Amino acid sequence: MKYVGRTLSSLAVAAVALAGCGGGNDAASGGGAETGAAASVDTAAARAASNELSISNVMIGRRIGAGNRITEPTFQFVPNDTVYVAVATEGTPASATLGAVWHFQTGQLVDSSSQAIQPQGAEATEFHVSRPKGWPVGTYKVTVYADGDSVDTKTFAVKK
């Protein structure tokens, strides 16, 4: 199992569809009607059913709601905020490890955490950080990893 980007997943879906079309006259392919049906499969559904993990969206914000969706997206925080990053994924690999590594503008490591999950299709995984004493004012970045590969980085600011 490995991370693949949305573009690669889409290409793979297209390649499968084209391969199916090419075998339309072959009995083994299941006949023309089925080939046509395969070609019309919604690509989003195909991605969700893939056994390879794809990242469909990464959002950052100060509030999170049902289904681990960011309800108040922002790149500007105040010192007492909890910072959330939500990672939407598709695919059904046997397992996947998502991680979030947070750095301050000085390069200091703020926090690093990961979650090992068994995605069942479209899923949302959130990471959050807070600091009881309040965040120092400045610029931060959070890098999201999927199975060890960096998949997105968000930069945000803390201002008074």
Partner 1 sequence: MPKSNEPLPDFSDVRSGGSSTAPATSPTETYTVKKGDSLSKIAKRVYGDAAQWQKIYAANRDIVENPDLIHPGQVLKLPAA
**Tokens at residue 38, please?**
């395969």
Q: Are strands 54-61 and 149-158 parallel, antiparallel or unpaired?
A: unpaired
Q: For residue 131, how many other CB atoms are within 10 A of its CB? A: 15
Per rule CB under 8 A, count of chain residues that contact partner 1: 44
Contact call for residue 31 and partner 1 (CB under 8 A): no
User: Considering only residues 61-100, where is the footprint of partner 1 by CB under 8 A?
Assistant: 67-68, 89, 95, 97-100
User: Considering only residues 114-143, where is the footprint of partner 1 by CB under 8 A?
Assistant: 114-120, 123-133, 136, 138
| 43 vs 108 by CB, closer to partner 1 | 108
Contact call for residue 153 and partner 1 (CB under 8 A): no
SS3 category, 136: coil
To partner 1, the closest distance from the beta carbon of 21 in angstroms equals: 33
Contact call for residue 111 and partner 1 (CB under 8 A): yes
- Point out which residues bind partner 1 (CB under 8 A): 67-68, 89, 95, 97-102, 104-106, 108-120, 123-133, 136, 138, 145, 147-150
